[in-house]
Amino acid sequence: MPVNARDEVLRRVRAAIGPRREHVDVPRDYRRAAPDGTDVVALFAERVADYRADVRLVGWDVAAEVRRVVRDLGIRSLAVPVGFPADYLTGLEDGLDGVGVELRRDDPPLSTADLDATDAVITECAAAIAETGTLVLGAAQGRRALTLVPDRHLCVVRADRVVGAVPEVPEVPMPVTWISGPSATSDIELHRVEGVHGPRTLVVLVVTGS
Amino acid sequence: MNVWLGMPPFPEAARQALGDSQLRANLRAATATIRTKRAAVVAERDDWEQLREAGRAIKDRALRDLDTYLLQLEAQVTDAGGTVHWARDADEANRIVAGLVRAAGATEVVKVKSMATQEIGLNEALAAAGITALETDLAELIVQLGHDRPSHILVPAIHRNRAQIRELFRREMPGVDPDLTDDPVALASAARAHLRRAFLAARVAVSGANFAVAETGALVVVESEGNGRMCLTLPEVLISVVGIEKVIPTTADLAVLLQLLPRSATGERMNPYTSFWRGTTPGDGPREFHLVLLDNGRTTALADEIGRDALRCIRCSACLNVCPVYERTGGHAYGSVYPGPIGAILTPQLRGPDPVADSLPYASTLCGACFDACPVKIDIPRALVHLRGKVAHPPGERAAMRAAAWVMSRPPRFAVARLAARLGARLARLPGPWRRWTEARDLPTPGESFRDWWDARERP
């Protein structure tokens, strides 16, 4: 007689399934990619804007647009994860374009209290999904708390990271967070309203490279 | 399973609920909203039926080799620094969680909304052990502050409207702005302020999981507000209580279910936040991770060839939102943490026989709207009829249901029965124990049956 819970649960599972196990085929004839000819970057921008994210298309000068966002939103302190490209932050600390912001690098790691007292965070993404307007952040984009505790999240999305559909998302080292718009809830009368515990403002900078 | 003490069986509870016109108005408005949204995002996918069929097959495959996938999951989670516990029933799971919280030296835990922990009555068990469980999902918070019960799988406070929520917050939330309006944005902000300190100070969190991927050991939590991320990320210790039926084989399978779930649940292309983690990660998130794998009646359901379909459920609650019975009675009448059509087939199987559970397979008109809405194609009407044949009820009804199941399971039998029914209908009154039914109703007597019309119709 099995005595521990693990053996007992497994014994029950095997008894329930029985001796005959018929093969179950999984039909994979659902769409595995966005339809041919889809402009995935344009679709991504449209879909993420549907969630009431602040979407900005950027040609090549990412740093100039970051400075504009910082000024528009009145951001005074900005958390920066390890490995974030320095050239996207050009001029932020030097007061260029009349912007004065304190960059708080997550090295050594910022405490949760520090993050709570930081206006915003800026990250890249490992991938972005056009059909669903989703940002995919993995271990390489920084600790998860960085994009959670500050009230504003700025995310730089390079066009070459945008895929069409969910099954096209590449393997990303865990922990992984998918973000589709700002924090929201549908708990009151099933109407979606933005802004609960996660960042209430999501700014997405889509870098088209033109 | 967590039994709501003092709940009457469904017919009686439903009669009480139907008398509450405010409840019916709230439910009608909310379910109409979500049905419209769901229809719009489902219509966007011309491959929706293929996705559903894949979703069904993925869950069936997982259940067919459940032992293999559970062992694979256990190995992966352990390899990634997590600890896996197994629980035969609710008591065992509650004891494990309480022990882990105590070992961490905590007296308070923050919780992510989880059906499994509601099912086992974890909050009550923790309270008995001197541990306070703080629900952090907005709707769960509304339920907890109101000393109320959840009435919907996804939106547990669906029975309350914005004005009622404002009154509750003003009464029960310490330090809330007395001029709080009933604007949902203002209500959400009040919840944010109320829970912020708890999130930043929490040392132990308890969650469930929507999916567990055997291939990688990834646990997946799907949410909207960010309270889930707070709980999964900030505390030192994370305990996830997960039903054994939540395991799926591969990451490719997850991609299918993550397309089906948000569209079916909140009518969104994707929910705001989805978290994926594997054991522990140095420098990011909890330093200790415990996975509690829960049976609590699931293997009993698995042993039933029809009833086991209910284990495919991904808790989207689309079946509640389309159900004419649920829309009128609300969730409380079902007397279970799993209300609505899925609850009517899940509760009797997980909980075992009692008057409330036995009444639930009858809480349906068998209209089939739930089956059409289900993203993993659970044939709920079929399971309801099947369970009606199993639960305790008067022998006459039981015999009738068995007879109906026997007749309808084979086309030739059904053909004979159709002929007999047409002849019998001329009697206009049913004999014996069925007489009472026809006393108040006319037995419908169509000129010809649908099948006869179908066979005889002109084909283009």
DSSP one-letter string for B16-78: HHHT-HHHHHHHHHHHHHHHHHHHHHHHT-TTHHHHHHHHHHHHHHHHHTHHHHHHHHHHHHH
Query: What's the pLDDT score for residue B352?
Result: 80
Q: How far is B136 from chain A (nearest CA, A)?
A: 10
Q: What is the pLDDT of residues A25-68, one digit of tens each?
A: 999 999 999 999 999 999 999 999 999 999 999 999 999 999 99
Nearest residue in B to A14, CA atom: B67
Residue A166, pLDDT score: 98
By C-alpha distance, the chain A residue nearest B273 is A179
Residue B453 burial (10 A CB sphere; 0-12, 13-18, 19+): exposed
pLDDT at B62 over 90: yes
Report the C-alpha gap between B26 and B29 in whole angstroms: 5
Cross-chain Cβ contact B57/A27 below 8 Å: yes
Last residue of a domain, one of B267, B298, B329: B298
Q: Would you state the torsion angle of the CA atoms of residues B2, B7, B10, B13, taken in this order, to the nearest 10 degrees?
A: -140
Residue B323 domain-assigned?
no
In angstroms, the first-to-last Cα distance of chain A is 70
Q: How many CA atoms lie within 13 A of A45 on its CB side?
A: 16
Verify whether the Cβ–Cβ distance A174 to B26 is below 8 Å.
no
Tell me which residue of B419, B358, B438 sits closest to B391, measured CA to CA: B358
Give the pLDDT confidence score for residue A77 in this predicted structure. 96
pLDDT tens across B163-203, in order?
999 999 999 998 898 899 999 999 999 999 999 989 999 99
Q: Is residue B454 part of a domain?
A: yes
Do B185 and A148 lie within an 8 Å CB cutoff?
Answer: no
Cβ atoms A55, A49 nearer than 8 A: yes
Cβ atoms A66, A92 nearer than 8 A? yes
Q: Do B226 and A199 touch (CB under 8 A)?
A: yes
Instruction: Dump pLDDT digits (tens) for B306-329.
Output: 999 999 999 999 999 999 999 999
Give yes or no for residue B288 having a pLDDT over 90.
yes
Gap between the Cα atoms of A75 and A97, Å rounded: 14
Asked whether residue B138 is domain-assigned, the answer is: yes
Please, which pLDDT band fits residue B17 given cuts at 50, 70 and 90? confident
- Compare CB distances from B273 to A17, A171, A178 and report the shortest one's residue: A178
- Secondary structure class of B314 (helix, strand, coil): coil
State the Cα–Cα distance between residues A118 and A104, nearest whole angstrom: 8
Residues of chain B contacting A109 with CB distance shorter than 8 Å: 283
The residue of chain B with its CA nearest to that of A9 is B88
* A188 touches A156 (CB < 8 A): no
pLDDT of residue B429: 60
- Of the two residues A114 and B422, the one the predictor is more confident about is A114
pLDDT at A127: 98
- Asked whether the predicted pLDDT for residue B444 surpasses 60, the reply is no
Contacts of B142 in chain A (CB under 8 A): 187
A105 beta partners: A80
- DSSP labels for A1-39? ---SHHHHHHHHHHHHH-S----------S--SPPTT--
Using a CB-CB cut-off of 8 Å, the residues of chain B touching A17 are 63-67, 302
Q: Decide if A191 and B33 are in contact by the 8 Å CB cutoff.
A: yes
Question: Which residues in chain B are closer than 8 Å to A31, comparing Cβ atoms?
Answer: 45-47, 50
A81 and chain B in contact, CB less than 8 A: no
Beta-carbon separation of A189 and B274 below 8 A: no
**In sequence order, what are the residues at sequence separation of 6 or more whose Cβ sits closer than 8 angstroms to the Cβ of residue A160?**
none
What is the domain extent for residue B430?
A: 410-460
Q: Which of B68, B234, B273 best tests the A interface by mutation, with the highest count of A CBs <10 A?
A: B273
C-alpha distance from A106 to closest chain B C-alpha (Å): 11
Domains: count for chain B: 2
Give the nearest partner residue to A112 out of B87, B200, B302, using CB atoms. B200
- The pLDDT of residue A190: 77
Q: Give the end of a domain, one of B258, B273, B298.
A: B298
DSSP 8-state symbol, A132: T
Smallest CA–CA distance, residue B303 to chain A, in Å, is: 4
Token pair listed for B398 = 């039981």
> What was the pLDDT predicted at B437?
55
Contact A5 B87 (CB under 8 A): yes
Average pLDDT over chain B, rounded to whole? 90
- B-chain CB neighbours of A145 within 8 Å are 233-234, 284-285
Q: Distance (Å) from the C-alpha of residue A57 to the closest C-alpha of chain B?
A: 21
* A31: contact with B, CB 8 A cutoff: yes
Interface test with chain A among B224, B256, B292, by most A beta carbons within 10 Å = B224
CB atoms within 10 A of CB B59: 28
Amino acid B204: pLDDT: 98
Given this model, what pLDDT does residue A191 score?
A: 77
Mean pLDDT on A73-89: 96
Chain A: give the shortest CA distance to residue B91, in Å. Answer: 12
Residue B171: half-sphere exposure toward Cβ, Cα within 13 Å: 11
Q: Which residue has the higher pLDDT, B396 or B231?
A: B231
CA A199 to the chain's CA centroid: 11
Question: Which pLDDT score is estimated for B25?
Answer: 87
B201: how many CB neighbours lie within 10 A of its CB?
12
Burial class of residue B328, CB neighbours in 10 A (0-12, 13-18, 19+): middle
CB B24 within 8 A of CB B18: yes
Whole-number pLDDT of residue B7: 79
| Secondary structure tally for chain B: helices H, strands E | 23, 10
Closest-CA distance of chain B to residue A32, Å: 9
Residue with tokens 């952040």: A137
In this predicted structure, what is the pLDDT of residue B134? Answer: 94
Instruction: Give the pLDDT band of residue B390 (cuts 50, 70, 90).
Output: confident
Instruction: Tell whether B425 is covered by a domain.
Output: yes
Strands A201-207 and A152-158: parallel
In three-state secondary structure terms, B367 is: coil
Closest listed residue to residue B377, CA positions, set B206, B459, B282, B257 = B257
Domain with residue B99: its CATH number is: 3.40.50.10420
Of A4, A131, A189, nearest to B269 by CB-CB distance is A131
- Please indicate whether, in this complex, the C-beta atoms of A196 and B188 are within 8 angstroms of each other: yes
Split at pLDDT 50, 70, 90, the class of A208 is very high
Q: Taking CB atoms and an 8 Å limit, are B230 and A175 in contact across chains?
A: no
Lowest mean pLDDT among A44-58, B16-30, B61-75, B358-372: B16-30
Q: Please give the residue of chain B at the shortest CA–CA distance from A30.
A: B50
The answer, yes or no, to whether residue B221 has pLDDT greater than 90, is: yes
| Residue B154 pLDDT | 85
**Cβ of A1 under 8 Å from any chain B Cβ?**
no
Out of A26, A129, A183, name the one closest to residue B61 (CB). A26
Position B20 scores a pLDDT of 85
Q: How many C-alpha atoms does A75 have within 13 Å on its Cβ side?
A: 29
Of B187 and A3, the one with more pLDDT: B187
Distance CA B59, CA B66 (A): 10
Residue at B294 is within a domain: yes
Q: Do B161 and A169 touch (CB under 8 A)?
A: no
Q: How far apart are the first and last CA of chain B?
A: 55
What's residue B412's pLDDT?
79
The CA radius of gyration of chain A, in Å to the nearest whole number, is 22
When the pLDDT of each residue in chain A is averaged and rounded to a whole number, the result is: 94
Identify the domain boundary among B298, B320, B345: B298
Number of CB pairs, chain A paired with chain B, less than 8 A apart: 237
Confidence of residue A102 (pLDDT cuts 50, 70, 90): very high
Q: What is the pLDDT of residues A137-158, one digit of tens each?
A: 999 999 999 999 999 999 999 9
The pLDDT value given to residue A93? 85
Q: pLDDT tens digits, residue range B391-429?
A: 776 566 667 767 777 777 777 777 777 666 666 555 556
Q: What is the 8-class DSSP label of residue B188?
A: H
Tokens encoding B353 = 């026989």
- For residue B115, tell me if it sits in a domain: yes
Q: Which of B296, B319, B247, B204 is nearest to B64 (CA)?
A: B247
CATH domain A34-207 topology = Rossmann fold (3.40.50)
A62 CB neighbour count, 10 Å cutoff: 19
B348 within a domain of the structure (yes/no): no
Q: How confident is the model at residue B3 (pLDDT cuts 50, 70, 90)?
A: low
**Which residues of chain A make contact with B46, given a CB cutoff of 8 A?**
31
Residue of A nearest to B23 (CA): A189
Residue A175, preceding peptide bond in cis (omega within 30° of 0): yes
Instruction: Inform me whether the pLDDT recorded for A174 exceeds 90.
Output: yes
CA distances from A188 to B178, B185, B323 (A): 19, 10, 20
Residue B113 lies in a domain: yes
Lowest mean pLDDT among A110-119, B171-180, B205-214: B171-180
Question: pLDDT band at residue A194, thresholds of 50, 70 and 90?
Answer: confident
Q: Where are the domains of chain A?
A: 34-207
- Chain A positions in Cβ-Cβ contact with residue B63 (cut-off 8 Å): 17
Q: How far is A7 from chain B (nearest CA, A)?
A: 9
